[in-house]
């Protein structure tokens, strides 16, 4: 006899939003030579963060402060908000799960873009929500279309990533501010800003967090280079953030991650350094693929969508060719986004690998 799983869980497909590179390496029996497929930041964390984490390791016998107080104070100061506008959690992925749980019951309508970040969809499915997907417009998430769809179906939640994954495209601050001002009554927007730290802070949307119906999600995984630490935060109206307290995993954030995140925020030179390294790597990726007649989409992130100019089947063959040649990259799952493959920024030594392997992978893709 099987245990009494809920109907919801019993009927969920056993899906994983992203199969990790380690899983692929185990299946191949070989390591990748370039790990540039998961939008990690190979330039690494701030040296101050590494030092703080080293010191914190000796205190790992302690539970971390469940209120993340010191870190929340630093985050609140960074964004000019109050302490009760900030929730710290196990990366954006963990926080998105909580946001979904706050408002989604079986049958609740949720709006996102067709081909947008799948981990959000995974959480919605996990709580029985009913996803409505709006097509991208010119390779950008269509914020007006998302709002229209939300009004029509009475959505409780709307998801938008700005800048976007998987395309790397973005909306200027004025558009996001216009979106925030037009959120349908009783709906909430999840504004996923995982990549916003790669942009200059002056380009960020200005949203009065207390009077909006927007939750902004930030992470230490991307520009701060701490993906393995699993730490991020949400900013939102105090009344919404208070509800997170009822359901969050109070001891879920680890002590080392807290120390690293706090030290990162104290290193004023880190983000400018990372932004210029990432911009140079984006240019290099453009040059590598440009030599072979491929174009790149404009990107405000630490990855570049390379437009194969062909269909999804061709892009898949190219991706497989690169994987077979030890280059870990990924591609979007649905048309028309799946004409692209996504190449992440990395150290020069890593980008040397696709530079060397792309010609053979392209030849193989063309011949099949
Ligand atoms: C749009 C987007 N949101 C969230 C995440 C995950 O962030 P975290 O590591 O904070 O869970 C990613 C990682 O690739 C992402 O692309």
Q: How does pLDDT run along the chain (368 residues), one tens digit per residue?
A: 788 999 999 999 988 888 999 999 999 999 999 999 999 999 999 999 999 999 999 999 999 999 999 999 999 999 999 999 999 999 999 999 999 999 999 999 999 999 999 999 999 999 999 999 999 999 999 999 999 999 999 999 999 999 999 999 999 999 999 999 999 999 999 999 999 999 988 889 999 999 889 999 999 999 999 999 999 999 999 999 999 999 999 999 999 999 999 999 999 999 999 999 999 999 999 999 999 999 999 999 999 999 999 999 999 999 999 999 999 999 999 999 999 999 999 999 999 999 999 999 999 999 87
pLDDT at 11: 92
Find out whether the beta carbon of 93 lies less than 6 Å from any atom of ligand 1.
yes
Protein residue with least CA distance to atom 13, ligand 1:
39
Find out whether the beta carbon of 91 lies less than 6 Å from any atom of ligand 1.
yes
pLDDT at 15: 86
pLDDT at 17: 87
Beta bridge partners of 344: 303
Protein residue with least CA distance to atom 14, ligand 1:
39
In whole angstroms, what is the distance from residue 175 CA to residue 143 CA? 8
Reduced to 3 states (helix: H, G, I; strand: E, B; else coil), residue 192 is strand
Contact 245, 102 (CB under 8 A): no
Find out whether the beta carbon of 219 lies less than 6 Å from any atom of ligand 1.
yes
Find out whether the beta carbon of 198 lies less than 6 Å from any atom of ligand 1.
no
pLDDT at 302: 98
Find out whether the beta carbon of 192 lies less than 6 Å from any atom of ligand 1.
yes
Q: If you measure from the C-alpha of residue 208 to the centroid of ligand 1, how many angstroms do you get, rounded to a whole number? A: 24
In whole angstroms, what is the distance from residue 217 CA to residue 202 CA? 18
User: How is domain 47-265 classified at the CATH fold level?
Assistant: 3.40.640
Protein residue with least CA distance to atom 10, ligand 1:
91
DSSP letter assigned to residue 43 = T
Q: Give the Cβ contact number of residue 105 at 10 Å.
A: 11
In whole angstroms, what is the distance from residue 321 CA to residue 327 CA? 9
Alpha helices in 220-297 (DSSP H): 238-247, 255-265, 270-290
Protein residue with least CA distance to atom 15, ligand 1:
194
Q: Probe ligand 1: pick from 119, 217, 344, max atoms within 8 Å of CB?
A: 119
In whole angstroms, what is the distance from residue 218 CA to residue 232 CA? 6
The structure tokens listed for 43 are: 């330039």
pTM: 0.97
Contact 233, 208 (CB under 8 A): no
Q: Work out whether the CA dihedral 26, 24, 12, 99 comes out positive or negative.
A: positive
248, burial (CB in 10 Å: exposed 0-12, middle 13-18, buried 19+):
buried
Q: Probe ligand 1: pick from 18, 88, 165, max atoms within 8 Å of CB?
A: 165
Q: If you measure from the C-alpha of residue 117 to the centroid of ligand 1, how many angstroms do you get, rounded to a whole number? A: 8
Please report the DSSP string for 107-160 in residue order.
Answer: T-EEEEETTS-HHHHHHHHHTT-EEEEE--BTTB--HHHHHHHHHHHT-SEEEE
Find out whether the beta carbon of 279 lies less than 6 Å from any atom of ligand 1.
no
In whole angstroms, what is the distance from residue 224 CA to residue 259 CA? 13
Find out whether the beta carbon of 92 lies less than 6 Å from any atom of ligand 1.
yes
Residues 6+ apart with CB under 8 A from 220: 226, 229, 231, 232, 257, 260, 261, 264
Find out whether the beta carbon of 229 lies less than 6 Å from any atom of ligand 1.
no
In whole angstroms, what is the distance from residue 52 CA to residue 59 CA? 11
Find out whether the beta carbon of 104 lies less than 6 Å from any atom of ligand 1.
no
Find out whether the beta carbon of 112 lies less than 6 Å from any atom of ligand 1.
no
Q: Probe ligand 1: pick from 36, 92, 94, 99, max atoms within 8 Å of CB?
A: 92
Give the start-to-end residue ranges of the domains of the chain.
15-44+270-367, 47-265
Q: Structurally, what CATH architecture does the domain formed by 15-44+270-367 represent?
A: Alpha-Beta Complex (3.90)
DSSP letter assigned to residue 325 = T
- The closest alpha carbon to 169, from 137, 203, 140, belongs to 140
């Amino acid at each position: 006899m099987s245990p009494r799983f809920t109907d919801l869980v019993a009927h969920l497909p056993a899906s994983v939003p992203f199969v990790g590179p380690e899983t692929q390496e185990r299946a191949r029996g070989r390591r990748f030579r370039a790990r540039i497929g998961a939008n990690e930041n190979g330039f690494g964390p701030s040296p101050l963060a590494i030092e703080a984490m080293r010191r914190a390791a000796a205190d790992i016998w302690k539970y971390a402060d469940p209120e993340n107080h010191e870190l929340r104070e630093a985050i609140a100061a960074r964004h000019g908000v109050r302490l009760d506008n900030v929730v710290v959690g196990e990366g954006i992925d963990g926080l998105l799960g909580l946001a979904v749980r706050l408002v989604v019951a079986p049958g609740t309508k949720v709006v996102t873009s067709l081909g947008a970040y799948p981990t959000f969809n995974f959480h919605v499915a996990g709580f029985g929500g009913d996803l409505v997907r709006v097509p991208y417009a010119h390779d950008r998430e269509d914020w007006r279309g998302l709002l229209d769809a939300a009004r029509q179906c009475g959505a409780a939640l709307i998801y938008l990533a700005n800048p976007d994954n998987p395309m790397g495209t973005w909306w200027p601050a004025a558009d996001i501010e216009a979106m925030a001002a037009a959120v349908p009554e009783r709906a909430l927007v999840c504004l996923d800003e995982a990549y916003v730290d790669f942009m200059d802070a002056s380009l960020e949307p200005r949203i009065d967090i207390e009077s909006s119906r927007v939750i902004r999600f930030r992470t230490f995984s991307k520009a701060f280079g701490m993906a393995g630490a699993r730490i991020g935060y949400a900013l939102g109206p105090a009344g919404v953030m208070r509800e997170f307290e009822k359901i969050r995993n109070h001891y879920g954030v680890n002590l080392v991650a807290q120390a690293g995140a706090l030290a990162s925020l104290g290193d004023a030179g880190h983000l400018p350094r990372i932004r210029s390294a990432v911009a140079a790597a984006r240019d290099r990726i453009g040059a590598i693929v440009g030599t072979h007649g491929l174009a790149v989409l404009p990107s405000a992130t630490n990855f570049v969508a390379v437009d194969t100019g062909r269909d999804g089947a061709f892009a898949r063959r190219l991706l497989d060719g690169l994987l077979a040649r030890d280059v870990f990259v990924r591609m979007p799952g649905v048309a028309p986004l799946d004409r692209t493959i996504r190449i992440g920024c990395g150290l020069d030594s890593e980008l040397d690998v696709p530079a060397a392997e792309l010609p053979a992978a392209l030849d193989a893709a063309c011949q099949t």
